[in-house]
Amino acid sequence: MDDRAVARVWFGKPNAGGTYLGTAFLVSPDCLLTAHHVIENRPVSEIYLQGQAWSGIRNLRDALCHDNPDIDVAILYLTKKEDRPIFLPLAPEQDADTGTGVGATVTLAGFGTEYSDLEKIEATISSYDGNCDLTVAHTSIARGMSGGPVLANGRVVGLIRARHHDSNKTYLVRLNSFRDFLMQSGCLPDRPPLKGPAAVITPDEFVARIRGKIQAELRRKPLTALAAILKQKVSEAAGPDAETSAWLCQGDLVESVDLLHEATKECLAKLADDGVREDALQAMWQGAVNVLGWLVLLSVDHEWVRQHGSSLTNGNAEVRFVVPCSTGAGLETLVARIGAKEPARFTFDPGGAEVIGQHRISGSAVEAGWDIGSCAEEIKKRIYRRIHNATPPHPFTQQHTKELNAILKRKGSRGENHYLSIPVTEENNPLQDPEVYQMLMQELTGLRLVYFGTGDGEGVLLLSEVDLFALVYEFLQLIKEYQ
């Protein structure tokens, strides 16, 4: 066993008051496994890894949990792929079965506390829990070892789930119970490595990722009531064995959003009748909107993203890429799909008639003349006002520009899709000037500049842009009765 492949998991930076959560281990140069409960309900942007496979600490670009809540496993995707091939090999299927059978001897590895050395405990598999597909070892471990590897003959055969509080037991998740999950995720070293945004993964892998995101959202406490109503409605539609997030992601998108709409409407009414506090009702509503935001990402054509996603992500000072969408709902959905870190986040425009992205900044009606410097400065002030909700300083200096860009980059690392939307139909808009565009691209690298056209989403969306707008618009109307 290569001890360097085992790492500590922290919520917050370990050298800045972070909280130690548990153990994880590398299964490829840029992916680790841990128990899902170790990171549950915590923002991915605030999870950090500390281990000997690298110097310093590492953060994550994404995390994915198993569809089945009884299989307590999560994949952690590092922001940066390590050059050194340090990871623990997985046992072949037959060896993994034998290695976790009753009577088999295994090694449990992990960090019991934030300060302790790596512990390796030899244990014997004593029983099997068929209800949750877990094996049991009558061996006590420290709480911090949750998420660590279970090894036989130097290869991974499972993952440490948790210790039993009242008895001398440790529950282990068998590798073969989640092997297919690993294969579909693309995280194993014999799969093609990820080379960029989510556009390079396969359609099935992207659907699995969205399914995991929705499942994690529905597990949160504020959504307990909504999850129960959704489960009932999905059971009525597809049978008692249907899993909610899987059904929502593999069927007709309109049908899925309609079911979510009805469940959310019913849940809002129930919570209001029960007299729950306004903050609890709002927390449930925000969770429902997040589920909607993840679902609509499935409306974007995967092949279009594969071919054109890098043009929107990287930009080009000479060729301004135009997105063939004409509505705020379509634009937000596409930008969120390219980033693939957060759900599409919708809101109404000030008039309440148009659905737009929550972090969209309008690039329309820039009245600063055609002078390059004054136009760029006016746009930067508009962005400053939108980000800070305050009057921009005067004069607006280069230092203010650097500070604004640093904040935009920080927000982007947390998955906030801040973008400047520029309508190509406004021919006299100074932002049509390539020099203005180039200046903004160079100075505000944390901001995406998105030109959108008069298209109807054809070739980009799997349903019409008008239909997408209607789905989102009607959903957002649900909360108005309770505000």
CA neighbours closer than 13 Å in the CB half-sphere of residue 175 = 26
Tell me the two tokens of residue 25: 């281990």
The mean pLDDT of 179-185, rounded to a whole number, is: 78
User: Taking a C-beta distance cutoff of 8 angstroms, is the pair 6, 23 a contact?
Assistant: yes
Q: What is the pLDDT of residue 439?
A: 85
Q: What are the extents of the domains in the chain?
A: 3-88+181-185, 93-175
pLDDT (tens digit per residue) in 62-90: 888 887 777 889 999 888 766 567 888 88
pLDDT for residue 193:
38
CB distance 450 to 420 below 8 Å: yes
Q: Is the pLDDT score of 473 beyond 90?
A: yes
- pLDDT average, residue stretch 321-338: 88
How far is C-alpha 164 from the geometric centre of its chain's CA atoms? 31
Tell me what pLDDT residue 192 has. 39
pLDDT surpasses 70 at 197:
no
Query: Could you say which of 3.90.1010.20, 3.30.1520.10, 2.40.10.10, 3.30.200.20 is the CATH number of the domain covering 93-175?
Result: 2.40.10.10
Same-fold call for 3-88+181-185 versus 93-175: yes
Q: Tens of pLDDT along 407-436?
A: 988 887 666 778 888 888 887 777 778 888
Partners of 31 in the β-ladder:
28, 77
Average pLDDT score over residue span 3-9: 92
Contact partners, residue 117, CB within 8 Å, separation at least 6 = 111
Q: What is the pLDDT of residue 166?
A: 58
Q: What is the mean pLDDT of residues 30-41?
A: 89
Q: Is the pLDDT of residue 313 over 70?
A: no
Percentage of the chain modeled with pLDDT above 70: 89
Q: Which pLDDT belongs to residue 25? A: 94
* Distance, CA of 301 to chain centre: 19
Q: 109 pairs with which residues across the strands?
A: 120
The string of DSSP codes covering 447-473 is SEEEEE-S--SBTTBSS-HHHHHHHHH
Tell the residue number behind the tokens 């840029």, with chain if given. Answer: 30
So what's the pLDDT on residue 474? 95
Residue, of 129 and 267, whose pLDDT is higher: 267
β-sheet bridge partners, residue 64:
75
**What gap in Å lies between CA 40 and CA 35, rounded to an integer?**
9
pLDDT band for position 153 (cuts 50, 70, 90): confident
CA distance 356 to 450: 14
Q: How far apart are CA 77 and CA 194, in angstroms?
A: 10
Q: What is the DSSP letter of 89?
A: P
Per-residue b or e along 95-121, where b marks 16 or more CB atoms closer than 10 Å to that residue's CB: bbeebbeeebebbbbbbbeeeeebbeb
CA-wise closest residue to 326 among 422, 454, 467, 427: 454
Q: What percentage of the chain carries pLDDT values higher than 90?
A: 31
Q: Of 181-190, 326-335, 379-388, which gets the smallest average pLDDT?
A: 181-190
CA distance 323 to 309: 10
Average pLDDT in the chain: 84
Q: Name the percent of the chain in helix, strand, coil, to the closest 5.
A: 45, 20, 35
Angle between helices 253-273 and 224-238 (to 10 degrees): 140
Q: What is the CATH number of domain 3-88+181-185?
A: 2.40.10.10
**Mean pLDDT across the stretch 464-470?**
91
Q: Which has more confidence, 147 or 93? A: 147
pLDDT tens per residue across span 350-359 = 888 899 999 8
Element (H, E) at 422: strand 419-423
- Coil/strand/helix, residue 275: coil
Mean pLDDT value of segment 449-472: 85
